[in-house]
Amino acid sequence: MIEMKKFSFWYPGREAPSLDHVSLTIGTGEFVLLTGPTGCGKSTLLKCLNGIIPHLSGGKSQGEVTLGGRATRKMTMAELSSQVGLVQQSPDDQIFATSIQDEVAFGPENLCLPREEIENRLAWALQAVDLGSCRPGSTAALSGGQKQRLAIAAMLALQPRVLALDEPISQLDPQGAGEVMAVIRKLNREYGVTVVMVEHRIHEAAQYADRIVVMNGGKLVFDAPVREAMTQAELFVNMGLRLPETVEICRRLKRGQVAMTVRETVDILKPGGFKKRAPSPVGSMPATVGAPVLEIEDLFYKYSKKDRPVLNGINVTIRRGERVAVMGRNGAGKSTLLAHMAGLLVPRQGTVKVAGAIITHKQKLPLGTVGLVMQNPDLMLFQSSVRREVEFGLRNLKTTPSVMNERYSQAVQGLALTGLQDDPPLSLSRGQRLRTAIAAIVAMRPEMMFLDEPTTGQDKRNIENMMSALVDQVETLVFCTHDIETALAYATRVIVLDEGCIAADNVPRKVFADASLLDRSGLKPTQSWLVGRELGLHDVFSPRELEGKWIC
């Protein structure tokens, strides 16, 4: 179906190739998971499949990409569009119509199909992604997962033989991601669509794929069927990629065997038994907490009068030294709560007291009291170099040169930015840009720091480096995340939001052991916990903990 022969590609103005002699063959109906560290050329490869490269990208290429035996270079964009559908990472950036049916009909209309045919394809595509009942609705009313399914439907309406997906689940809550993956699998299995999917979250996607291809530095470095690939765990670990927990469990307990699902893992482990002396649970230990630094009472908020409330009676106290993970499905109110905590929004009803000051329209927090890292860190980078970016806040705080140098060095070293001090922040990789934005805040030593989805689109190594630096340098930390593993490892407390209300507020191990709560809140229990429960272990959340309590 798809064949790349020693294909190389250089973006305009770059000396190093983004794809370097890539040779890859993908058969009809295959589901290929393409993974690798951030910036390794995965998205560039996808753009080669649907002709964006070389037809619209500029740049220089060598070698050939063929689709069904024809070179993409010699095909028109209309031909390519009807053969390969490309779905990108952010649903909000690629959906441009206000109504669902217009979004899906856009492609067939461009192909000049008759109305009846457009109508048929529209109905089929929406049905295929389980959005058939939403057809007359507005795109704005959809959840994150639904929007991504709509983006897939918009491509399906062109009836492509190949679906190329660029990190389609990276911005979704676990349940939304599950919905999208189920739809992709259905398209692959039932409709025979060839799927090429780029994803960091291989622990969530690997079980659906037939084959894994790993890239590094623009080259293909590994290509094998999923189960075979999972026996090479070190390869993924060395690249900072996260393995499915079931694979990790079997790797630790039953070397040589691979399980992709919880059921399989349980079947493999069942012949074993409990360890007599189990070590105490690992993960984040409760920090020594001090006096309250943030108090929220009866907070209600809605963006306009006709909107439904985003926050619906929130009562929270956060104490010095706590590390709090705020979780919940997309649209549960996490970012709005964080904006109130940082004093950016003034409550319409209720009170928010930050560092002793009640937030009102007149009451502003002194500079450096709190720090906020937004969901899109690019909006926080406006200086000409990393050094100037990190020093910007310190200059405004009027710190002495020696203090400035000391704090700058600590922030830059802690967040692995050494050697980049003269680079323009916006020219760095995504992980580096996020770390620069964090360093700029950390250097100011705020009393409290808030991070909105800092783990999105980051590989495991980046997440670990970033969170370790934050734990070292920030006393009180509140972060929104969908990543249960990160919350387990770094949070001392988890607040779960559901439709603007606090559904749970407890230590991570209590929250993540409540399966019905997680289900209601768009979250999913860890695979280790599910395996442990089947085996009769009720306080196990990671492969390491399972290894400590179970023997095979």
Partner 1 sequence: MLNWQELTQSETAGTGIHRLDPRVKITMLIITGGLIVFLDNPVLLAILLAVGAAGMLIARLTLIKLKVVCVVVLLGLWGTVFSQALFYEQVPRTVMGTLISPGTPVLGPLTKGVYIYREGMLHGLRQGLRMATMTTLGLLVCWTTDSRLLLLGLVRMRLPYSLAFMTVTAVRFIPVLLRETMQVVTSAKMRGGSRLSMQLLSPILANCLRRAGTLAVAVESRAFRAQDRRTYLEELDLSLREKLFLTGYLLAAAAVVTCKTSYFCYQYGLYYVSALRPVYEFTRVYL
Residues 331-350 that bind partner 1 (CB under 8 A): 342, 344, 346
Considering beta carbons, is residue 159 or 410 the nearer one to partner 1?
159
Instruction: Tell me the window of 147-155, 209-217, 262-270, 403-411 that interacts with partner 1 (CB under 8 A).
Output: 147-155
Distance CA 471, CA 26 (A): 44
Candidates 8, 38, 64, 113; binder of partner 1 (CB under 8 A) is 113
Task: Decide: is 12 part of the binding site for partner 1 (CB under 8 A).
Answer: no
Task: Decide: is 177 part of the binding site for partner 1 (CB under 8 A).
Answer: no
Task: Decide: is 448 part of the binding site for partner 1 (CB under 8 A).
Answer: no
* Residue pair 281/528 in contact by the 8 Å Cβ criterion: no
Candidates 279, 426, 429, 519; binder of partner 1 (CB under 8 A) is 426
Residues whose CB falls within 8 Å of the CB of residue 395, separated by 6 or more in sequence, listed in order = 404
| Residue appearing with tokens 């249960």 | 484
Task: Decide: is 357 part of the binding site for partner 1 (CB under 8 A).
Answer: no
CA quadruple 28, 31, 36, 39: dihedral, nearest 10: 70
Task: Decide: is 96 part of the binding site for partner 1 (CB under 8 A).
Answer: yes
Considering beta carbons, is residue 154 or 268 the nearer one to partner 1?
154
CB of 141 to partner 1, least distance (A): 11
Count of residues that interact with partner 1, criterion CB under 8 A: 72
Residues whose CB falls within 8 Å of the CB of residue 494, separated by 6 or more in sequence, listed in order = 324, 325, 326, 327, 487, 504, 505, 506, 507, 508, 511, 512
Candidates 115, 189, 270, 275; binder of partner 1 (CB under 8 A) is 115
Work out the burial of residue 79: count CB atoms within 10 Å of its CB; fewer than 13 is exposed, 13-18 middle, 19 or more buried.
middle
Candidates 66, 120, 383, 385; binder of partner 1 (CB under 8 A) is 383
Task: Decide: is 129 part of the binding site for partner 1 (CB under 8 A).
Answer: no
Task: Decide: is 397 part of the binding site for partner 1 (CB under 8 A).
Answer: yes
Task: Decide: is 449 part of the binding site for partner 1 (CB under 8 A).
Answer: no
Task: Decide: is 551 part of the binding site for partner 1 (CB under 8 A).
Answer: no
Q: Report the site for partner 1 in 304-323 (rule: CB under 8 A).
A: 304-306
CB of 522 to partner 1, least distance (A): 23
| Residue appearing with tokens 């294909």 | 7
Q: Strands of 84-87's sheet, edge to edge?
A: 84-87, 162-166, 194-198, 31-35, 211-216, 219-225
**Which runs of consecutive H residues, i.e. helices, occur in 342-475?**
386-396, 401-414, 430-442, 460-473
* Residue pair 168/87 in contact by the 8 Å Cβ criterion: yes
Task: Decide: is 191 part of the binding site for partner 1 (CB under 8 A).
Answer: no
* Residue pair 479/504 in contact by the 8 Å Cβ criterion: no
Q: Strands of 2-10's sheet, edge to edge?
A: 19-26, 2-10, 60-67, 70-71
CB of 386 to partner 1, least distance (A): 14
Residue 500 phi/psi, 5-degree rounding, is: 80, 0
Q: Angle at the Cα of 137 (from 135 to 138), degrees rounded to 5?
A: 125
Considering beta carbons, is residue 136 or 401 the nearer one to partner 1?
136
DSSP state of 381: -
Instruction: Tell me the window of 62-70, 80-88, 458-466, 504-512 that interacts with partner 1 (CB under 8 A).
Output: 80-88
Task: Decide: is 367 part of the binding site for partner 1 (CB under 8 A).
Answer: yes
Distance CA 395, CA 397 (A): 5
* Residue pair 320/475 in contact by the 8 Å Cβ criterion: yes
Site string for partner 1, 507-536 (x = CB under 8 A): ------------------------------
Considering beta carbons, is residue 361 or 538 the nearer one to partner 1?
361
Considering beta carbons, is residue 109 or 472 the nearer one to partner 1?
109
Structural element, H or E, at residue 43? helix 42-49
Candidates 101, 143, 188, 542; binder of partner 1 (CB under 8 A) is 101
CA 20 to chain centre: 27
CA atoms within 13 A on the CB side of 16: 7
Task: Decide: is 155 part of the binding site for partner 1 (CB under 8 A).
Answer: yes
CB of 166 to partner 1, least distance (A): 9
Candidates 37, 39, 41, 85; binder of partner 1 (CB under 8 A) is 85
Considering beta carbons, is residue 160 or 525 the nearer one to partner 1?
160
CB of 42 to partner 1, least distance (A): 15
Considering beta carbons, is residue 81 or 432 the nearer one to partner 1?
81
Q: Report the site for partner 1 in 32-51 (rule: CB under 8 A).
A: 47, 50
Candidates 396, 405, 413, 429; binder of partner 1 (CB under 8 A) is 396
Considering beta carbons, is residue 285 or 379 the nearer one to partner 1?
379
Distance CA 38, CA 60 (A): 22
Considering beta carbons, is residue 250 or 294 the nearer one to partner 1?
294
Task: Decide: is 19 part of the binding site for partner 1 (CB under 8 A).
Answer: no
Look at residue 372 and give its three-state secondary structure: strand
* Residue pair 190/161 in contact by the 8 Å Cβ criterion: no
CA 87 to chain centre: 16
Q: Report the site for partner 1 in 248-307 (rule: CB under 8 A).
A: 303-306
Instruction: Tell me the window of 24-32, 112-120, 317-325, 494-502 that interacts with partner 1 (CB under 8 A).
Output: 112-120
DSSP state of 175: H
CB of 308 to partner 1, least distance (A): 14
